[in-house]
Chain A
């Protein structure tokens, strides 16, 4: 076979300028991606046009795009995560409906398209929905909880976000320019090697992940530094809220695991671009190395996602039970235990490669041992609720739905850790059901709990409770109608990623799972309605005091939304749950603490560095995918110049004068004083009255 037939059929010389890119790259003959892509493109153009015409561009540029404020970046991460969640959900609808129609038939998606859909679904959901949601919530809440003004490296933080957005953009670009990977969400070689995946799909995957991976690694460094080095006075490690502990564990995992991912994908890139033989079928390549390496990142990744969610649930359950977290130190220990052991279990993803009894047994037992840490957490959440006064708000309902559903998912996970059981369930629909069980119930419910919990802090008004509760109920119902059938299908021997099938016994279950997706659509509608209704009724949902939930950690002590500098003076922390102590003291003494001595505050200046760097990285990534080498050079040069320019800046901070700080904080104190006058007397009586009876 000729190596380069494409070059020969290019009719004009200038085509070399564009590498592999020709009009063939646009799928004019494929109505589904073309229509979907055009729709997205039109919506995007409409939004941009609206922004420009209404004159919002300067506001967007100064307040959001160039913002280095951790709260703004957190919100942008979360929005990116939600948008990508929607994209991944559309893929899910396509997969479930394809299988529902594909009994003894081709369905409506041919294999070459279906394979892209499930590869994109996994990639997008993990890297561009779940990760941004968790990182976004950490971004928003961690500095507030630590009682500080920002993260350690604010401009890096902005760069991280925009690099993640670059990755998401490249993945979505593949919808209309070229194709996406057909080699699964983890591109196992040799299928992902040039020989078996000659198109640009795998390259889209690899460069999107390499670029966003840099952003994620920067986030990890940023947050570990922040948590270890920047905390309010008096906040020792064992006074940090549990969410900060889980964020610390997650970011330690990011620092340790993401370089492994980058190196592994880098080796695959070398194979694909310059003819190396790390994982090929020839010249001594060995694909088992890839599988080991990718899971050495992949398993910690699961905990990178779920640990912050555990933190959110801990905060939510404690707040809405009206109690401190039960066994706080035990929870910290369990978190760090999971953080460590998550690196020792990767082999359970390929028990069926024939490693032998000893190896399989050791990794099976190590996997089950991780469940100890999770089990401890479940019991501690249970005892947190025990003796509480539980308010069933939307975040609390997400948390309860999580504990109940996740326990089942954990159980099927431990089941899969037993090698002989895995020998029959590996890569089956049972496995698919299992990891959706833990990721939906853990990460997604966690994200929704976190969003509803911190929404009033971010925007100054609460989300609508009725629609929120309806969303919880429908999501849980949708989850069980979709994934219980998948468990059953796994037991019936159905493997994952089938574009069509001819086993009659599977059919009713496949259709049931398809019906579950319809329920999920209802849940999505409720989420949208929740947002619409909340914005319409924002005046009645307004959070005036900054403490809408009767919270316990520091973020509730500042205004909603917080000022750019978070705290007029850094709070002095004297124990666990510092804000709860401040509140108790105010109620006991019936007055706020004395007005502090306001001083000017230095805050980092906004910077377009992140955005412009990401722009050049997008150019570089696109050029690398299409082998447009001059453009690669241009993009790299641009990104480099931006950083040199940033490094040469002579003014990196701006000062907020003391009067401004005083004005903002006095407004907050006025509202607090009103609250104290109205409610504190009753609270005082309630507490003291109860002590007498007790």
Chain B
């Protein structure tokens, strides 16, 4: 993200504490995850993911500065004042101290004030709707995302192609996602690229993401959406911009057509759908879904009104 010189200066002066606390945070989380090789949100591959996880580690660091000493003090006090310790002084009248009360309220308040600042800035800078400041000369790539039962549809309105359960994007170029759902709520989430956002029927959400490097990134739905939910994952291929053009050109060569009829076919329940592409896509489709001009998916066709436990759609 672009920083003004003034911001950068501020960053330098307050940076040392944050750096130290971040180190503490990284340390703590590494102990937890031991995930040097595994790909998760702590191995971000884009500016949004990087900023998200930086704030995450900052917050852990700030809190650890208080929480760790508190835990240590609790253990030490509980052990030292054990009934069998004759060296510990019994002070049954130590039940109130104005000074301690002030400290007791002040410590959490100070931490929360500090974190509150972090929250305020973070919530605004990393609002999913805020475009990414990028050095790339190309304008952001628009991708329309529709979550269906149970697969992801990605429409490239400028390129007029589409894909299912597979998202190809140029690396180092911001991608502007417009998202909605054809049935129930889902969450669009590529852990290594950054923030997730909900997809809801009759509504449109937006999200900006960018991959800094070429690579394949795992994407999921982060909102349970029914029996086929576990199969609702996809791969993001971040490729060189030239390769992206090649991919578009190749995609236009073959595959089915995503017009309204093609969309109705896709609308039917299906599970663990293998990725495929459409050689042409109707760019007005997405708006029609958002405006509910196209009906939402009709839900499970098996088991309707039936009382028993039956697989629906995935059988």
A interface with B by C-beta (< 8 Å): 1, 4-7, 20-22, 24-27, 30, 33, 110-113, 115-116, 178-179, 182, 184, 188, 190-191, 195-200, 281-282, 286-288, 321-328, 330, 350, 352-354, 356-358, 360-361, 364-365, 368-369, 371-372, 374-376, 378-380, 382-383, 385-392, 400, 403-404, 407-408, 410-411, 414-415, 417-421, 423-428, 484, 487-488, 491-493, 495-503, 505, 626, 690
Contact = CB atoms under 8 A, between A and B. Distances in A.
Contact of B303 (A22, A198, A408): A198
Interface stretch (B72-80, B237-245, B254-262): B72-80
Contact of A113 (B183, B184, B192, B309): B309
Contacts of A115: 224, 226-227
Nearest to B309: A179
B285 interface: no
A264 B145 CA distance: 30
B308 A179 contact: yes
Contacts of B170: none
B73 to A, nearest CB: 6
Given A195-B299, A199-B306, 6 more contacts: A1-B301, A196-B183, A354-B206, A427-B223, A493-B191, A493-B192
Nearest to A351: B123
Nearest to B100: A383
Interface of B: 29, 32-35, 37-42, 49, 51-53, 55-56, 59-60, 63-64, 67, 70-71, 73-75, 77-78, 81-83, 88-92, 94-97, 100-101, 103-105, 107-109, 111-112, 115-116, 118-120, 122-130, 183-185, 187, 189, 191-192, 194-198, 200-203, 205-206, 218, 220-231, 233, 292, 295-296, 298-301, 303-312, 314
A178 B308 contact: yes
A623 B118 CA distance: 53
B184 A372 contact: no
A382 B72 CA distance: 11
Contact of B187 (A358, A369, A427, A492): A427
Nearest to A329: B96
A417 B60 CA distance: 12
B81 A386 contact: yes
B224 to A, nearest CB: 4
B32 to A, nearest CB: 5
Given A387-B94, A390-B81, A110 B194 contact: no
Nearest to B202: A281
Contacts of A325: 95
B129 A356 contact: yes
A327 B206 contact: no
18 contacts: A1-B301, A188-B184, A352-B222, A361-B119, A361-B124, A365-B120, A375-B104, A378-B74, A407-B74, A408-B71, A414-B115, A420-B122, A421-B56, A421-B122, A423-B52, A424-B194, A495-B220, A495-B221
Contacts of B29: 491
Contacts of A353: 197-198, 200, 205
Contacts of A383: 94, 97, 100, 104
A501 B304 CA distance: 28
Given A188-B185, A288-B200, A424-B49, A411 B63 contact: yes
Contacts of B52: 420-421, 423-424
A371 B59 CA distance: 14
Given A323-B95, A424-B49, A385 B81 contact: yes
Contact of B41 (A4, A323, A424): A424
A503 B185 contact: no
A112 B195 contact: no
A423 B230 contact: no
Contacts of B308: 24-27, 178-179, 199
A198 B126 CA distance: 39
Nearest to A497: B224
B222 to A, nearest CB: 4
B83 A5 contact: no
A1 B297 CA distance: 12
Given A196-B299, A390-B78, A420-B51, A488 B35 contact: yes
Contact of A350 (B88, B198, B292, B304): B198
A679 to B, nearest CB: 16
B198 A354 contact: yes
A388 B92 CA distance: 6
- Residue among B88, B120, B183 with the most chain A CB within 10 A? B120
Nearest to A201: B309
A424 B305 contact: no
Contact of A420 (B101, B123, B201): B123
